[in-house]
Every structure is written in structure tokens, then in C-alpha cells.
Amino acid sequence: MENQNINEIYQSAMDEIGESSTSEKLQELKIKFLAKKSVLMSLLSTLGSLPPEERKEMGQKLNEVKAKIASAIEEKENQLRKEELEKKLKSETIDISLPSKRVELGGQNPFYVVKDEITDIFLNMGFEVADGPEVETDLYNFELLNIPKDHPARDMQDTFYISDSVLLRTHTSPVQAHTMQAAEGKPIRIICPGKTYRRDDDDATHSHQFAQIEGLVIDKDINIGHLKATLELFAKKMFGEKREIRLRPSYFPFTEPSVEVDITCANCNGKGCSMCKGTGYIEILGGGMVHPNVLKMNGYDPDVYSGFAFGIGIERVAILRYGIDDIRKFYQNDIRFLRQYRKKA
């Protein structure tokens, strides 16, 4: 009698599984046929009351049926899942023969390309990158660099004043003072790329905002030979192995001696042409040995330590490197200009 009952349950389970077309329905069937309170399971709990010979047979049969129903449900679940996926894929097919929208690849402004190149050259020589504020105090921009209030050198570095003592930095040199003070007497080897400002009437060669890379090395026994060798290596890496440099005496209040560094003109190879105004050389940067007053004011004993510093105009290097004729082009974002420097993929 039980057997009969079990077969009926099995049959109706199979029918219902076969007919069900959603996973919710299958979920219901699981509860109906396999949960603790289902008919099948309640039969299992009555096994104990059967005579031992029948108990074993009946138990096996019940478990067999239970396993069959469970696997039938699972199979159906898989089938439904597959069908659903196929339906979804079909509804989401895209027409790959349609022409796509063109994605325009952007490019780096040549200013940044050159800034990164200069930075890399010095990183490879063992320099680290330092940072400093663009809004500076008079103290750091001038005083701590040996440019007191009444110094005539201030005339060439008029800038935008926020107040009498706060201004937009006119060069990256204040980073020298910040770095020295933070290093507290330890050796230094840094560069600092950054924006600088001056009150200027903008034209092809002047811009009220421009950028420099400052360099500063301080240690025992640093001499001008180190400055020359460092800048020569930089010039050759940046402009080509054939370029020679020359140092000309110059003046900056924060270096002594001070130099202006020229490279041989790439256009005429030093012979003299219109690009170098007949001199064979083109000026690329300023530098010198750190002035003893600057060392002293920023915590270094000039009798023990010495150092060199330099300041490179980034736009100037980019102009020479790419033959650009107007500094304003770096800032105007004219796509016709920028496009010429786009790296080919």
C-alpha cells in the first residue's frame, strides 16, 4: 500500500516538475515534495512503525525517490537557467556591422612632455623632487635668498601681491630656502618643477605665468665643477650629445659666483645664424654656487658646507626643443597647435 502511495507521489512530482516553467515554481515544488513537512518526508518518519523486514526496503525506496525528485528539480533548474540566458543573449545582440563613433585620442601639451623629460634626466642623476607653495611670503621669495627690501634685483621680479608680505612667487628659488630649513643641515640634492609669476606684458617671449625647474645640491666639498658637469650632462641628454655648453659670468643675489649657461645653437652648430643672433650659442638657464649668506640664513655653516643651484625655464627649453615661436601657445589650448605634438599611437 505504501509502495503504491510512493509511486503516486513520484509520478505527480515528475509531472509537476515537467510542467513548471519558472524557477519560482520549482522552488515551490521543492517545498512541496522535499521539505520536512512534505508527504514524502512524513512517510519517512513513519518508517519506525513498520516491521523490520519492510522497514529497510521501504527506507531505500523512499530515499531513492527523494533523490530522483531532487535531481529532476535540479536538472529542470539548469535547463530554465540556460533558456533564460539564451533569451537574454538574443534580446541583447548588437549589430556589430554598424559604424562606431570615432573616439579622439588626446595628447599631452608639449610643455608637460618637456617638464617630465627634464625631471627624468635629473631623477636619473640621483636628484629627488621637492615641492613648495606658489603663494609665497616676501621672506622666502626674497629675504632668505639674500634679496633685502631695497635690493635693485627686486625691480626685475615684480609680481602679483596678495598683501605687502604675501605674493605669487617670482621663481622656484624659495624652494631652496624651504628645503634647506627642512633638511636641518643634512646634504641636499633636489629639483623642484613649478609655476612662477611675474608682472609682465605678455608677448611672444614673455608670459606673466611661466614655469621653472629649480635645482639645489648641498654637501661638503661641492664646487663649480660639479655644477658644470651636472648641467653639461643635462644639456646633452636634453638637446643631443653634440651640444656643448659654456658658462658666462652673471649675477644673482643668491649665488656667488653666478653663471648663465648657454648651449651651442642646434641650427648652425655654433657657427652663428639668425636663430642664435650670430653668436653660435643660446642661453638655457641660470645658476651658480649658493651664496654663503643664503647657506647661513637657512641653517648651514658656509665654512663646512657648499652647494650649487640652478633655475631652468621649462617653456624656454620646450621652445628650443620644438622650435615653437610664441610662449603663449603653451597656455592657449589651441587644438591646431597641440595636435602637432600628439604622439603617434
Question: Could you tell me which stretch among 53-61, 228-236, 282-290, 320-328 binds ligand PHE (CB under 6 A)?
Answer: 282-290
User: What are all long-range contacts of 116-125, with beta carbons under 8 Å and residues at least 24 apart?
Assistant: 117/238, 118/193, 118/213, 118/234, 118/238, 118/312, 118/314, 118/317, 119/191, 119/193, 119/213, 121/233, 121/234, 121/237, 121/238, 122/191, 122/213, 122/215, 122/234, 125/230, 125/233
- Taking the complex as a whole, how short is the minimal distance between the CB of residue 180 and ligand PHE, in angstroms? 13
Site string for ligand PHE, 216-255 (x = CB under 6 A): ------------------------------------x--x
Distance CA 294, CA 143 (A): 9
Q: Quick one: which of 234, 310, 314, 324 contacts ligand PHE (CB under 6 A)?
A: 310
Question: Could you tell me which stretch among 22-30, 36-44, 181-189, 305-313 binds ligand PHE (CB under 6 A)?
Answer: 305-313
Query: Is residue 132 within the footprint of ligand PHE (CB under 6 A)?
Result: no
Distance CA 48, CA 86 (A): 48
Residue nearest to ligand PHE (CB): 311
- Taking the complex as a whole, how short is the minimal distance between the CB of residue 133 and ligand PHE, in angstroms? 16
Handedness of CA 275, 266, 264, 218 (dihedral sign): positive
Cβ contact 209:196 at 8 Å: yes
Query: CB burial class (10 A; 0-12, 13-18, 19+) of residue 246?
Result: middle
Residue with cell 615653437: 324
Question: Could you tell me which stretch among 15-23, 64-72, 75-83, 285-293 binds ligand PHE (CB under 6 A)?
Answer: 285-293
Q: Quick one: which of 262, 286, 295, 316 contacts ligand PHE (CB under 6 A)?
A: 286
Residue with cell 601657445: 329
- Taking the complex as a whole, how short is the minimal distance between the CB of residue 290 and ligand PHE, in angstroms? 8
Q: Which is nearer to ligand PHE, 24 or 155 (CB)?
A: 155
Question: What φ, ψ does residue 222 adopt, rounded to 5°?
Answer: -85, 130
Q: Which is nearer to ligand PHE, 173 or 264 (CB)?
A: 173
Query: Is residue 309 within the footprint of ligand PHE (CB under 6 A)?
Result: yes
- Taking the complex as a whole, how short is the minimal distance between the CB of residue 172 and ligand PHE, in angstroms? 7
Cβ contact 75:18 at 8 Å: no
Distance CA 17, CA 32 (A): 11
Q: Quick one: which of 66, 76, 169, 171 contacts ligand PHE (CB under 6 A)?
A: 171
Q: Quick one: which of 26, 287, 295, 324 contacts ligand PHE (CB under 6 A)?
A: 287
- Taking the complex as a whole, how short is the minimal distance between the CB of residue 104 and ligand PHE, in angstroms? 38
- Taking the complex as a whole, how short is the minimal distance between the CB of residue 175 and ligand PHE, in angstroms? 10
Cβ contact 173:216 at 8 Å: no
Distance CA 250, CA 286 (A): 8
**Amino acid found at 109:** N
Query: Is residue 146 within the footprint of ligand PHE (CB under 6 A)?
Result: no
Q: Tell me 288's DSSP state.
A: E
Query: Is residue 288 within the footprint of ligand PHE (CB under 6 A)?
Result: yes
Query: CB burial class (10 A; 0-12, 13-18, 19+) of residue 93?
Result: exposed
Q: Which is nearer to ligand PHE, 20 or 141 (CB)?
A: 141
Determine the straight-line distance between the first and last CA of the chain, rounded to whole angstroms. Answer: 81
Q: Quick one: which of 132, 280, 307, 311 contacts ligand PHE (CB under 6 A)?
A: 311
Tell which positions 2-31 bind ligand PHE, by CB under 6 A.
none
Query: Is residue 307 within the footprint of ligand PHE (CB under 6 A)?
Result: no
Residues that bind ligand PHE (CB under 6 A): 171, 173, 252, 255, 286-288, 309-311
